[in-house]
Structure 1
Amino acid sequence: MIVLMAALDAHGLIGNHDKMPWHVPEELAFFKLKTLHQHVLIGRETWEAMESTLPQRHVHVLTRNPDYAGKPGYEYIETSLQKVIFNWKPQAQPLLICGGAQTYEQSLPYADELWLSLLPDTYEGTVFFPKFDEKDFMVKEQIRYTKFQFFRLLRKKKGASL
Structure 2
Amino acid sequence: MSRRIVLVAAVARNGVIGRGPDIPWHVPGEQTAFKHLTMGHVLVMGRTTYESIGRPLPGRETIVLTRDPAWSPGHDAVHVARDLDDALVQATRLPGEIVVAGGASVYAAAMPLATEQVISEIPLEPEGDVFYPDFDRHHWKETRRDELEGFDRVWLRRR
Task: Note the C-alpha offset of 1:92.
Answer: 9.7
Structure 2 residue 66 is matched with structure 1 residue 63:
yes
Once the 2 structures are TM-superposed, how far is the Cα of residue 52 of structure 1 from its aligned partner? 4.9
2:109 is the alignment partner of 1:106: yes
Question: Is contact 2:115-2:157 (8 Å) kept?
Answer: yes
Q: Which of these residues, 142, 146, 155, is aligned with residue 143 of structure 1?
A: 146
Residue 25 of structure 2 corresponds to residue 22 of structure 1: yes
Number of residue pairs the alignment of both structures matches: 155
Cα distance change on mapping 1:73 and 1:27 into 2, 3 Å: farther
One of 10, 14, 18 as aligned partner of 2:13: 10
* Unpaired segments ≥5 residues, structure 1: 157-162
Q: Distance in 1 between matches of 2:86 and 2:56?
A: 24
The CA RMSD measured in Å over matched residues stands at: 2.2
Aligned amino acid, residue 5 of structure 1 = V
CA distance in 2, matches of 1:26, 1:140: 22
Matching residue of 1:33: 36
Q: How much identity, in percent, do the aligned residues show?
A: 32
Find the aligned partners of 1:136 and 1:20 in 2 and give their Cα distance. Answer: 28
Q: CA deviation at 1:110?
A: 0.8
8 Å Cα contact 1:53-1:73 kept in structure 2: no
Partner of 1:160: none
Residues 116-154 of structure 1: CA deviation (Å, up to 9, x unaligned): 000112211111100000000001111110111011100
1: CA distance between counterparts of 2:120 and 2:74?
26
3-state SS of 2:80 partner? strand
What TM-score does the superposition give when structure 1 sets the normalisation length? 0.86
Verify the 8 A CA contact 2:56 2:78 in the aligned structure 1. no
Aligned to 1:78: 81
Q: TM-score, normalized by length of structure 2?
A: 0.87
Instruction: Provide closer, same or farther for how the CA distance between residues 101 and 117 of structure 1 changes in structure 2, counting only shifts above 3 A.
Output: same
Write the distance in 2 (CA, Å) between the matches of 1:60 and 1:86: 11
